[in-house]
Chain A
Amino acid sequence: DADVTQTPRNRITKTGKRIMLECSQTKGHDRMYWYRQDPGLGLRLIYYSFDVKDINKGEISDGYSVSRQAQAKFSLSLESAIPNQTALYFCATSDWLNTEAFFGQGTRLTVV
């Protein structure tokens, strides 16, 4: 089983719809991240969480929200999806010292 599992792997949704991307990890790490990947822009940080009670905005949090349901689960929501949120989304987890981040396989989201 993968250390970090993202569901769904692919999703097409319509403008204005609410959508949730889920992430679970088996590493036992406290830190979890959501990134968005766009060609030429690298991975941009959307939200991150250092423990269950800690949620922090990243550089591009507008239009997104997150929920840390448990140490192992970190969900990303788009309350009202828009086409420019079409991207590849990655969840990652790391230990407290940031010694290594482990990534999920990504969720390819298309908003039409």
Chain B
Amino acid sequence: AQSVTQPDIHITVSEGASLELRCNYSYGATPYLFWYVQSPGQGLQLLLKYFSGDTLVQGIKGFEAEFKRSQSSFNLRKPSVHWSDAAEYFCAVAGGGAQKLVFGQGTRLTINP
């Protein structure tokens, strides 16, 4: 069965600094990988996804993520964070066919002014 680990429960960065959120997955075949963001009091919004092809994927709000099969990772990055990026971020994995969508524990991002 697939699983996702987000090693960092809480990260604090300064506004304008770069950001990297880590995600490691376990899945027997080529996974479908996702990053979702949850703003306070809101539902989840898709930031980006990877199915195949170019291992560097671009998403909304200036985010990108890189799929590294050798490391079973799908880390999320942003060159310069804004105060509005403060939220909780979830990595998720799924497969096609009969596979379900499984989420990691989430990383809460705090932005210092």
Which residues of A pack against B, CB within 8 Å? Answer: 4, 33, 35, 40-45, 48, 50, 56, 58, 90, 92, 94, 96-101, 103-106
Contacts and interface: CB of A to CB of B under 8 A. Distances in A.
B99 interface: yes
Given A42-B90, A42-B103, A42-B105, A100 B44 contact: no
Contact of B46 (A43, A50, A100, A105): A100
Given A101-B44, A101-B101, 6 more contacts: A41-B105, A43-B90, A45-B102, A90-B44, A99-B51, A103-B43
B103 A35 contact: yes
A94 B101 CA distance: 9
Interface of A is mostly: strand
Contact of A98 (B43, B94, B103): B94
A15 B44 CA distance: 29
Interface string B14-50: 0000000000000000001010100000111010010
Contacts of A106: 43
Given A35-B103, A43-B90, A45-B102, A101 B46 contact: yes
